[in-house]
Amino acid sequence: MEEFIRAGDLVFIWAPPKGDSFIIKATPGGRQDSRLGQLLHDDIIGKPFGSWAYTNMGKPFCLLRPNIQEYSRRVRRMTQILYPKDTGFILVSLNIGPGALVVECGTGSGGFTSVLAHFVGDAGRVVSYEKKEEYSLLARRNCEKWGVAHRVDFKIRDIAEGFDERGVDALFLDVPNPWDYLGRVKETLAPGNRLGILIPTVNQVEKTLDGLEENFFFDIQVLEILLRYYKTNSRRIRPEDAMIGHTGYLVFASNVIGPPDFGPNGGEDSD
């Protein structure tokens, strides 16, 4: 069904041939400046999504609906953000969906917080811990812009003090020393559910693996995701000159109750 852009709507504007793009909030009297000229918001408001608007230089922009992938990587930031190539895999690995209760730490600039809140829906809840108040406030504003801040509890606290929640559906750590908090995670994450961790170096992976084993987390996985786009010219299809390579290692593990009992064979196959 055709829908028309209203004042206050977020709009993803995209221009051929090189894909210049922006996410704007349609505001009466506003404008978007670019190398292709000025695009007046008043020329956007009232038009249907999927139509075209033109700059003062006559250059076209297509008016599209923004998606959470584009939004999360464009948020105003004070910290490094998670890339969409990682966030999608995290969502499916932690089984995050409508109605889920998810704990995140740290909040950072709120890019991933907005993704989590988008997918848990109004029936779910995201609790996001961050030590620095200025980061948490920025994250709240970024979530408000996407319209999901009402699904998030922003808590300014060092997670060394522990979490308030118990029996949560998923927990995600984006902190430099996750191994120091695995005991606290154990208290908070429901048994049988998944923990996700993002860390940038192999040295951190080593310490994290030791900590997971010591705290009886099992089904441990370590991976990284590399993303390469291709040029879309049908006569010269080839990879783009640059790709999104290493942004961090992802570690996933399941919370279990104590160690297994292997019996008298010590875990070896009796057959």
| Residues of the chain by 3-state class (helix, strand, coil), percent to 5 | 30, 30, 40
Low-confidence ranges of the chain (pLDDT < 70): 265-271
The predicted structure's pLDDT at residue 74: 82
Angle, vertex CA 97, rays to CA 93 and CA 98, nearest 5: 170
Q: Is the peptide bond before 239 cis (omega within 30 degrees of 0)?
A: no
The predicted structure's pLDDT at residue 87: 94
Angle, vertex CA 125, rays to CA 122 and CA 128, nearest 5: 135
Amino acid occupying residue 62 = C
The predicted structure's pLDDT at residue 269: 58
- Written as one string, the DSSP assignment of 188-236 is HEEEEEEEEEEESSHHHHHHHHHHHHHTTEEEEEEE---B--B---TTS
Q: Which domains, ranges and CATH numbers included, belong to the chain?
A: 10-66 (3.10.330.20), 69-263 (3.40.50.150)
The predicted structure's pLDDT at residue 268: 60
The predicted structure's pLDDT at residue 241: 86
